[in-house]
Amino acid sequence: MKTRILTLCVSAMLLVTSVSFAQSKNGKPSASGTTPDPIFSSLRTHRQAKGTATDWSLSNLNGVIGFTVQRTYEDPNDEFAYWEDLCTMACDASRRFSYNDKEVFPGVISYRIAALMEDGSTLFSELSSVRIVSRK
C-alpha cells in the first residue's frame, strides 16, 4: 500500500513539473512565475511603391536584443533555400517594428524575421509572402 501511494505521489509531481515546463516553453507564464518567452503576434508584407513593406509585432520583448529581416525568392519551405539578410536592427521599447525593402524584383518574395536573443539563440517568425508582378 505504501508503495502504491509513493508511486502515485511521484507520478503527480512529475506531471505537475512537466505541465509547468510545457507552459513556460509555449510563452505562457509557468507556475513558478517566470516571464514568458516572446511570441511573434503578427507579420505582414505588402507592396509599397517600387518595393515592399514588412511590419511585425511581438507579444513581449523578454530577452530580445535585435532583429534581422530576411527574404528569399526561392521556395521558403526548402531547407536549402538561400535567405538573404536585408538589415539588422536593435530592439527598442516598441513592440511593433517595420522595414521597407526598396529594391525588389518581380516574382514571389517570402520574408521572415529572426529575433536575436540575449542568450545567443534565434527565434524565427512565420513566413509572409508578396507577389510582385512587375516594377512600377
Residue 4 amino acid letter: R
The set of cell numbers assigned to 67 is 532583429
Consecutive H or E run containing 13 = helix 2-25
Class of the CATH-defined domain 40-132:
mainly beta
The 10 Å CB-count burial string (b at 16+, else e) for 64-77 is beebbbbbbbeebe
Tell me the average pLDDT across 5-25.
Answer: 50
Residue 6 has pLDDT above 70, yes or no: no
Domain ranges for the chain, please list them. Answer: 1-36, 40-132
pLDDT in tens, 79-120: 999 999 999 999 988 889 999 999 899 999 999 999 999 999
pLDDT of residue 37: 80
pLDDT in tens, 38-61: 889 999 999 998 899 999 999 989
pTM score, two decimals?
0.72
Starting at the edge strand found earlier in the chain, the sheet holding 96-101 runs 40-48, 51-58, 96-101
CA distance 80 to 78: 5
Beta bridge partners of 87: 69
Residue 24 has pLDDT above 90, yes or no: no
